[in-house]
Amino acid sequence: MCQKAIYPGSFDPITYGHIDIIKRALKIFDEVIVAVANNSSKRPLLSTSERVKMVKQATKGFDRIVVESFDGLVVEYAHKKRIGVIVRGLRMISDFEYEFQMALTNRKLAPDVETIYLMPSESYSYISSKLLKEAAFLGADISNFVPKSIEKKLKAKFKKK
């Protein structure tokens, strides 16, 4: 194993696909910082503090992870933390173009920070937080995609609306 890595994302909400990427990253790195982006331009359903709490609940019992939020560019956060590796999940070919653009932009902004991609298990490769929120809003059973505590939180959130 070597060094630390940052796994950034909105995690709105965290899914089994995200958890799978965290487990894979822990096989490679000594420590993984799960960095919850405070990006209001994405208009998340859940507040940053709710998402941090949910990630902590979903990864309870995992060794060698830290969960925290960050503002701004992930490469600036990486510099602040003195970490040179960003982990990203790559589910489908449709993710590739966006991820490729982001990695090249980050490389231009911070040539000392590398981005590596991990692919989740096939059973999680189609899961997206956006689709899960829509399914939960419409009352679907999402227990195969998120931990029970996350499912309860989403159901409660949609009852308030």
Active site residues: 18, 42, 91, 129
Contacts of 153 (CB under 8 A, 6+ apart): 13, 46, 50, 54
Identify how many contiguous H helices and E strands the chain contains and give both numbers: 6, 5
- Residue 15 has a CB neighbour count (10 Å cut-off) of 24
Q: Is 48 helix (H, G, I), strand (E, B) or coil?
A: helix
Q: Is 136 helix (H, G, I), strand (E, B) or coil?
A: helix
Compute the distance between CA of residue 160 and CA of residue 22 in angstroms, rounded to an integer. Answer: 31
Q: Taking Cα atoms as reference points, which of 51, 57, 66 lies closest to residue 5? A: 66
